[in-house]
């Protein structure tokens, strides 16, 4: 069954690019609730990562040049003039409010051409978006807001299987070991935060005690 689905996906040229655009769209919509901008953001990030795969070392947080425009992946915590930090990355926003890359806007209509109109030959695109939203909603908000964690834990595990799972099972679930690992990480971070609070309280008490002597 899955082999037949893979053949259909290949014939329609549906692959990682569409999965990235879809999950980035669901990610933005889950956090901000704006589907129009979510589609622009989703396609923008898919275009960026496709470019980065071919022209820049993946994961390198540095300055690149694309068609005489500058694209900066946030790492320093500060975006250059003309760029806005969105979900941990510096992205250029057009005068119409759409995200753009290489001087070209990525509009909701462009998203529909690249994603919606392709997948609807296989399945209802509204169902596809609903499944994507249900999938990303199972991850902690901190993972969705961090581009590196999003790529590693949300996108990468299903980049080659998302549509196969959707078409064969009707839903897509995060890998169990990934969710367990994220929960364990959250518990560890909470312990660190509690320890920091205790240390801060202790220092304040010592300062107060020293001043009263």
Beta bridge partners of 89: 86
The fraction of the chain above a pLDDT of 90, given in percent, is 62
- Summarize pLDDT for 110-119 with one digit per residue, the tens: 999 999 999 9
Q: What is the pLDDT of residue 147?
A: 94
**CB distance 125 to 116 below 8 Å:** yes
How would residue 77 be classed by pLDDT, with cut points 50, 70 and 90? low
How would residue 33 be classed by pLDDT, with cut points 50, 70 and 90? very high
- Summarize pLDDT for 98-139 with one digit per residue, the tens: 999 989 999 999 999 999 999 999 999 999 999 999 999 999
**CB distance 168 to 28 below 8 Å:** no
Q: What is the pLDDT of residue 69?
A: 39
Dist. CA 41–CA 26, nearest whole Å: 10
Among the listed residues 136, 161, 133, the one whose alpha carbon sits nearest the alpha carbon of residue 150: 136
| pLDDT at residue 68 tops 90 | no
| pLDDT at residue 76 tops 90 | no
How would residue 211 be classed by pLDDT, with cut points 50, 70 and 90? low
Dist. CA 155–CA 23, nearest whole Å: 7
Residue that wins the pLDDT comparison between 121 and 189: 121
Q: What is the pLDDT of residue 62?
A: 42
DSSP per position, the chain: -HHHHHHHHHHTT-SHHHHHHHHHHHHHHHHH--HHHHHHHHHHHHHHHHHHHHHS-TT--SEEEETTEEEE--SSS-PPTTEEEETTEEEEE-TTS-EEETTEE--HHHHIIIIIHHHTTTS-HHHHHHHHHHHHTTS-HHHHH-HHHIIIIIIGGGTTTHHHHHHHHS-----HHHHHHHHHHHHHHHHHHHHHHHHHHHHHHHHHHHHH-
Provide the token pair at 90.
């510096």
Dist. CA 182–CA 64, nearest whole Å: 32
Read off the pTM.
0.78
Dist. CA 24–CA 88, nearest whole Å: 13
Where do the structural domains in the chain lie, given as residue ranges? 2-174
How would residue 73 be classed by pLDDT, with cut points 50, 70 and 90? low
How much is the mean pLDDT over the chain? Answer: 85
Dist. CA 74–CA 76, nearest whole Å: 6
How would residue 12 be classed by pLDDT, with cut points 50, 70 and 90? very high
Q: What is the pLDDT of residue 72?
A: 47
How would residue 25 be classed by pLDDT, with cut points 50, 70 and 90? very high
Minimum mean pLDDT among 67-81, 85-99, 114-128: which range? Answer: 67-81
């Amino acid at each position: 069954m899955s082999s037949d689905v893979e053949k259909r996906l290949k014939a329609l040229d549906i692959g990682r690019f569409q999965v990235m655009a879809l999950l980035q769209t669901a990610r933005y919509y889950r956090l901000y609730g704006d589907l129009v901008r979510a589609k622009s953001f989703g396609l923008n990030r898919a275009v960026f990562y496709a470019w980065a795969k071919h022209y820049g070392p993946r994961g390198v947080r540095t300055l690149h040049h694309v068609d005489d425009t500058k694209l900066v992946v946030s790492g320093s915590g500060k975006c250059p003039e003309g760029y806005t930090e969105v979900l941990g990355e510096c992205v250029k926003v057009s005068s119409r409010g759409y995200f753009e890359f290489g001087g070209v806007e990525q509009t909701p209509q462009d998203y529909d051409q690249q994603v919606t109109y392709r997948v609807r030959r296989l399945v209802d695109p509204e169902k596809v978006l609903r499944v994507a939203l249900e999938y990303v909603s199972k991850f902690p908000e901190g993972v969705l807001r961090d581009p590196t964690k999003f790529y590693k834990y949300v996108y990468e595990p299903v980049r080659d299987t998302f549509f196969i799972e959707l078409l064969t099972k009707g839903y897509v679930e995060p890998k169990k070991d990934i969710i367990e690992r994220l929960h364990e990480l959250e518990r560890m971070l909470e312990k660190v935060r509690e320890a920091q609070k205790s240390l801060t309280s202790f220092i304040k008490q010592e300062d107060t005690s020293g001043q009263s002597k």
